[in-house]
A and B are shown apart, each in its own frame.
Chain A
Amino acid sequence: MQARRIDVAALEDPVEALFDRGWTDGLPVVPPTEARVLRMLEGTTRSPQDVVAVVPPDLVECTVEKAAINAVMAGCLPEYFPVVLTALEAICTDQFNMHGVLATTMSVGPIFVINGPITERIGMNSGVNVLGHGNRANSTIGRAVQLIVRNLGGGAPGGIDRATLGHMGKQGFCFAEAPSAWTSLAQEEGFTAQQNTVTAFAGEGPRLLFDQQSRSPESLVRMLADGLRSTVSSRMVMGIDAMLVLSPEHLSRFIDAGWDRSRFLTELSELLIIDADDIIVGAHGIDEGIPTGFAGLQLPKFRPGGLLIVHAGGSAGLFSAIIGGWVNGNTGSDPVTKEIQL
């Protein structure tokens, strides 16, 4: 290992020493001792000096060793480390545009969805409180990536991270998709159910979509569409993507009625056609809006492929969640799915 050694005085508290140096995300981190980092490196077959990615905003080459140090600090176990490395690779691409995700004043951060057998093997949560806290793998994988961006890439809040509000998911937002009768997010991206993948998405915090009374798919899809229309802004169309997290009970409304993912998306998309006259500048007394040149048109809320569907959550509860995205396409950030190299 080649990293600089830092001697901590006998009477100094290592945890406080790490705070003092500005190397934490506001929560205590695990002191990265040689023994702990060596154990982390056992989680991958890659050489410690291999370069994993060039990390924005300072465009620093991150070696496996530097990633391992930050993964220790985040609280990862070695078996999570391949997921951390792939998640880092995913955000350090032109497609994901991590520099822009950091620098924007919008409240977005990298969100990671994990698919494949590795989720069960490393004990990830795809069930109760899936978008919340309480599971070590979920809580620390995304955190490790964010610590690398901060400590190695130089992307700290108040510096290059200019979010006006931010959200607590920027501490590290990672969860597993639950298997279902529908194809998974990774399968939609061309991977098999047996491949382990990370999907990175630039997103805000999750918002609940409440519907406890719909028993038919026709009713529930209308209610979901109603909630999705205001994703990020009711006046914004096509320019942002979103991730819809369908809970098991909501998903069962569609599966029990014989709807597959494709039909669901078709029906939902038809309900998400927006009358431009309602959202142009000045409509209904609101100055925010799309240019008046769009008047008279019918516009889709999301671009083709711009709504990512994920199945996760506890087995009881008639709620789903929407995670709004950021500027999409070449001018912003596109979701990235990569296979995890064990």
Chain B
Amino acid sequence: MTQNLNAVMLDPTAETQPEQRPLCDRPSTLQGLTVGLLDISKPRGNVFLDHLETLLSDQGAEVRRYVKPTFAKPAPVDLRHEIATSCHAVIEALAD
């Protein structure tokens, strides 16, 4: 057996470990909860979210609507912070 010339390699990754976050407990009721609906600014996403708003309101949730400036980029930090601090749950809508 010849010596393995590739025996030691260098790590090509960021060498980071993602932080493990457990999922939140599923709410047993929507009564009195604030639910954010995030429109990603794609055509007809509002059609889906309008319908969800009706369904959620009927179940006693307070609905807040949010809009991303563009579907092509991550939501701005300020918007994410506002949703995280104002809502108990959030639904992000795709479209098309």
Contacts and interface: CB of A to CB of B under 8 A. Distances in A.
The secondary-structure label for the interface of chain B is loop
Interface residues of A, number: 41
The secondary-structure label for the interface of chain A is mixed
A199 interface: no
Contact of B12 (A70, A100, A332): A70
Interface in B45-96: 69-74
A34 B10 contact: yes
A191 interface: no
A330 B76 CA distance: 14
B25 to A, nearest CB: 26
13 contacts: A3-B10, A3-B11, A4-B11, A8-B9, A14-B4, A14-B6, A23-B12, A69-B12, A151-B12, A152-B12, A331-B72, A331-B73, A332-B72
Interface string A66-84: 1001100100000000000
Interface of B: 1, 3-16, 69-74
A5 B72 contact: no
Given A7-B7, A32-B10, A66-B14, 7 more contacts: A5-B10, A6-B10, A10-B3, A11-B1, A37-B10, A58-B16, A65-B10
Nearest to A73: B12
Contact of A69 (B4, B6, B10, B71): B10
Nearest to B8: A5
B6 to A, nearest CB: 4
